[in-house]
Structure 1
Amino acid sequence: MTTRTLTRRAALAAIAATSALVLAACGGSSDGGSHAAHGAPASPGARGAMASTAHNAQDVAFAQAMIPHHQQALEMARLAPHRASSAQVKDLATRIEKAQDPEIRTMTGWLKSWGEQVPMGGMDHSAHSGMSGMMSDADMAALKKAEGKDFDTKFLSMMVEHHQGAVEMAGTEKARGAYGPAKALAGAIVTAQNAEIKEMKQLLGSSGTSGTSSSGGMSGMSGMG
C-alpha cells in the first residue's frame, strides 16, 4: 500500500506541474496584435501602455508635415518685434513662438525615436508650397519688406490662413492617427489655433482690413496698409 500511495502521489505531482506549464504558455501567447517594438506585455496594464505608444503612418506624416509648418510660423512671428506697429500683433507673435517652438522639439523627438526622417530647417519654402496654409517664398519676401501697419495687416492675414492649414492637418491626425501623444497634440493645436484665428480676425476687423481669402496667403491684400 505504501508503494502504491507513493506512486499515485508522484503521478499527481507530475500532472500538476504539466498543467502549470500549459497555462503559463497559453497566458504568454496573447499580445493583442500591438505594433509596439518590445514584445508582448505580461499584463493588461502593460498591454494598455504598449497600445498607447504604438504609431502608424499617419502619425509620421503629421509630424513630418507639422514641423516645417511650425517653422514657417516661427519665421513669421520673429519678424514682428522689429516690424509690427501694433502691441497686440507683437504679443500674438510672442505667444505663437512660445507655443510652437517646443512643439517642434517634441515632434522631432518622436520622429527620431521612430527611426524616421526629420525635416530640415531652412528658409526655402518651395518644397512645402503645396502644404495646407503654407506661404510661398514670394509671400514671405513681401512680409519681410513690410513695416508698421502694412506689416500688421499682412502678418495677420497670412497667419490666419497659416493657422487654418494647421487646424486642417491636426484634424486629420485626430481622425486617423494612432499615437496617443500625437493625437493629444493635434487636439491642442486645433483648440489653440482656432482661438488665435478668432483673435486675428477681430484685429483685422478693428483695423478696417478685409483679411485674406482661403486660396492664397497674399490674395485680397493689394492696397492694404
Structure 2
Amino acid sequence: MRKSLIGFGVAGLAAVALLAGCGSGDDMAGVQHSSTAASPSAKGQQDGHNEQDVKFAQDMIGHHQQALDMAAMVPSKSTNPKVTDLGKRIAAAQDPEIKKMNEWLTKWGAAPASTSMPGMDHGSGHGSMPGMMTAGEMAKLNGATGAEFDRMWLDLMIKHHQGAVEMAKTEQEKGSSADAKKLAQDIIAAQQAEITEMQTLLK
C-alpha cells in the first residue's frame, strides 16, 4: 500500500511538472506573438502608410521647394501681371503642403527630406524626380528678365508641374496613406489646371 502511495505521488509530481512546462511554453509563445505584433515591419501598416508614402513626401518636398525658388524670381523679373499673380498662387499653395508633408515624415519616424539629395538641390540633373530643373536651367532663368523671363519661366514651370502630376499619380497607384493619396489628388487637380493656364499665357 505504501509503495502505491509513493508511486501515485511520483506520478502526481510528474503531471504537475508537465503542466508547468506547457504553461511556460504558452507564455513564451505569447511573448513571441507580442514581439511580432510590435515589429517595425508591422508598424507602418498600423499607421496606415508604406514606403511609397514616405518616398512621395520626401521627393515632393524637394520638388515643391524648387517651385518656390522659381516663384520667388517672378516679382523682380516678370513684366506680366498674370505671371506675377500665378507665381504668388503657386507659392501660397505649395508652402503649406511642404509643412504638411514634413509633419507626416515626423509622425512616421522617417528621415526628413534633404535639399542635398541628388535632384533636390535646385535640380542638379542627377535625380530621378521628373520635371526638376537642372542647375544650368535655373541659372539661365535667373539671368533673364521681362518677356524673355516670362516665356522661359512658363515653359519650365509647365515641365515642372507635369513632373509633379506624374509623381502624384504614382502615389495614388502605390501609396497606402489616405492623407498622402488625398494630397496627391489635390496636386493633380491644381497643377493640371495651372498647366492649362500657363499654356494659354504662352499663346
Question: What one-letter code is carried by the residue in structure 2 that aligns with 1:116?
Answer: A
Give unmatched runs, 5+ long, in structure 1.
1-30, 39-49, 206-225
What whole-Å deviation, never above 9, does each CA across 1:87-130 have from its counterpart, x for those lacking one?
00000000000000000010011111111111234755327543
Give unmatched runs, 5+ long, in structure 2.
1-36
SS at match of 1:79: helix
| Identical-pair percentage | 48
Question: What one-letter code is carried by the residue in structure 2 that aligns with 1:163?
Answer: H
**Residue 56 (structure 1) shift:** 0.4
What whole-Å deviation, never above 9, does each CA across 1:41-98 have from its counterpart, x for those lacking one?
xxxxxxxxx96x4100110110011010000000000000110010000000000000
Equivalent-residue separation in structure 2 for 1:173 and 1:153 (angstroms):
31
Compute the TM-score of the two structures, normalised by the length of structure 2: 0.74
1:187 maps to which of 158, 176, 185: 185
Q: Which runs of 4+ in 1 moved over 4 A?
A: 35-38
Question: What one-letter code is carried by the residue in structure 1 that aligns with 2:181?
Answer: K
> For residue 65 of structure 2, what is the aligned residue in structure 1?
71
CA contact (8 A) 2:125 2:132 kept: no
What whole-Å deviation, never above 9, does each CA across 1:6-43 have from its counterpart, x for those lacking one?
xxxxxxxxxxxxxxxxxxxxxxxxx9xxx7749xxxxx
Which aligned pairs between 1:18-167 and structure 2 lie closer than 5 A? 37=43, 53-121=47-115, 123-126=121-124, 129-167=127-165
Equivalent-residue separation in structure 2 for 1:36 and 1:110 (angstroms):
18
CA contact (8 A) 2:53 2:176 kept: yes
Equivalent-residue separation in structure 2 for 1:161 and 1:125 (angstroms):
13
Equivalent-residue separation in structure 2 for 1:105 and 1:128 (angstroms):
25
Aligned residues: 161
> For residue 3 of structure 1, what is the aligned residue in structure 2?
none
2:198 maps to which of 194, 200, 203: 200
Specify which structure has the higher proportion of helix.
Answer: 2
Equivalent-residue separation in structure 2 for 1:195 and 1:59 (angstroms):
24
Equivalent-residue separation in structure 2 for 1:95 and 1:36 (angstroms):
40
Equivalent-residue separation in structure 2 for 1:137 and 1:130 (angstroms):
15
Equivalent-residue separation in structure 1 for 2:141 and 2:191 (angstroms):
21
Equivalent-residue separation in structure 2 for 1:186 and 1:71 (angstroms):
16
